[in-house]
């Protein structure tokens, strides 16, 4: 059994069982991958994948278990390299982060600027996506850290570190009837077409809860993953925008911002990483730059606690900053 064979079967799963795409991702040949997978199956005495002729159509039950273990082994293999690099090249390396557009656009620039000045020889890569995509990227080892604000139930099997709380604001054109509203209610908001985030981004489920609790079916006419796109369509008069409060900036002088924190439950932004990840010194620093209360000592304590409830107890009584 070879590490490369394990890398092949994991990448095939990552690429939705498409061997050609797996070969492209790994810069190798499709016949070479197919041959090595067959050799591994012969060695194990079972099939990892179900096939229809030469094409893979599914993963076997045993294959699911093997791929899960292979993922962990690949992460630990990378951890061995990271340990060595920590001693031989402590300020050199790569940091890969997955997050949503709102975090990348409004919360990360200052953190990345500070980090880049401190670690100019660390290559930083930011991937943007949906909560499911963030989780998949983290689980597959494509990224080291995921900054998530929604669908946190997906992240039960990783370390989750609470960063800060945030809520929403309404944005409208100056001539809109709500622009002069002093005490906005969910009933008043429900009278107008709404422009907001795609489901699964930045707490859309909390919006659903607020409206359903009031017995109102919201008229959502447009959704997007990008707050800037939402603001663009509000400017075009498509509807009333509901965005993360942090996404309204001083440059948005043509939009009236109305606080909606009394209408919706606050949401929490968290940083996630796999238990088997070896965190380099610069990774601890990045986490601390993003959320100052997350000291290295606290992160290390959380990392050692496998149970999610035990991790949460570390942060009991901690007042998270509101953004």
Distance CA(163)–CA(148), nearest Å, equals 10
User: Does residue 203 contact residue 271 with C-beta atoms inside 8 Å?
Assistant: no
- CATH code of domain 89-163+268-315: 3.40.190.10
Domain 3-83 sits in CATH 1.10.10.10: yes
CA 25-29-34 angle, 5° bins:
100
pLDDT for residue 140: 77
Distance CA(24)–CA(131), nearest Å, equals 25
**Stretch 178-202: mean pLDDT, rounded?**
85
Same fold yes or no, 89-163+268-315 and 168-259: yes
Q: Is 286 helix (H, G, I), strand (E, B) or coil?
A: helix
Closest CA to 108 of 167, 149, 141, 156: 149
Distance CA(137)–CA(134), nearest Å, equals 5
Sheet bearing 267-273, strands edge to edge: 122-128, 93-99, 145-148, 267-273, 159-166, 321-322
Each residue's pLDDT tens digit, 43-55: 999 999 998 888 8
pTM for this model (two decimals): 0.75
User: Given pLDDT bands bounded at 50, 70 and 90, which one contains residue 156?
Assistant: low
Host H or E run for residue 59: strand 55-59
Closest CA to 56 of 20, 84, 3, 105: 20
Each residue's pLDDT tens digit, 202-259: 445 677 788 888 899 889 999 988 899 999 999 999 999 999 999 999 999 999 999 9
Q: Which two tokens stand for residue 55?
A: 């094409």
Distance CA(240)–CA(219), nearest Å, equals 10
The full set of domain ranges for the chain reads 3-83, 89-163+268-315, 168-259
User: Does residue 245 contact residue 166 with C-beta atoms inside 8 Å?
Assistant: yes
- CATH code of domain 168-259: 3.40.190.10
Distance CA(12)–CA(110), nearest Å, equals 37
């Amino acid at each position: 059994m070879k590490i490369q064979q394990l890398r092949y079967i994991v990448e095939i799963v990552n690429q939705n069982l498409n061997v050609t795409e797996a070969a492209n991702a790994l810069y190798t040949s499709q016949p070479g991958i197919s041959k090595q997978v067959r050799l591994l199956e012969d060695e194990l005495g079972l099939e990892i994948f179900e096939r229809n002729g030469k094409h893979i159509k599914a993963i076997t039950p045993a294959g699911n278990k093997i791929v899960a273990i292979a993922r962990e082994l690949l992460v630990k293999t990378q951890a061995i390299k990271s340990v060595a690099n920590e001693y031989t090249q402590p300020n050199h390396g790569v940091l890969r982060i997955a997050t949503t557009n709102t975090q990348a656009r409004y919360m990360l620039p200052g953190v990345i600027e500070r980090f880049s000045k401190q670690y100019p020889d660390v290559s930083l890569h930011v991937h943007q996506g949906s909560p499911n995509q963030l989780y998949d990227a983290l689980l597959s080892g494509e990224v080291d850290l995921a900054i998530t604000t929604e669908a946190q139930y997906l992240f039960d099997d990783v370390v989750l570190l609470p960063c800060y709380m945030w809520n929403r604001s309404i944005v409208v054109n100056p001539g809109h009837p709500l622009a002069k509203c002093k005490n906005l209610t969910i009933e008043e908001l429900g009278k107008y077409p709404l422009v907001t985030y795609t489901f699964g981004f930045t707490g859309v489920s909390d919006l659903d809860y607020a409206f359903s609790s009031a017995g109102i079916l919201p008229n959502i006419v447009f959704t997007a993953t990008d707050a800037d796109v939402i603001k663009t369509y509000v400017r075009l008069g498509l509807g009333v925008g509901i965005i993360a409060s942090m996404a309204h900036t001083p440059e948005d002088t043509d939009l009236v911002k109305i606080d909606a924190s009394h209408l919706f439950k606050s949401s929490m932004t968290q940083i996630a990483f796999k238990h088997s990840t070896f965190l380099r010194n610069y990774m601890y620093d990045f986490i601390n730059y993003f959320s100052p209360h997350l000291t290295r000592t606290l992160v290390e304590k959380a990392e050692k606690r496998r149970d999610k409830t035990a991790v949460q107890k570390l942060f009991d009584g901690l007042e998270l900053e509101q953004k």
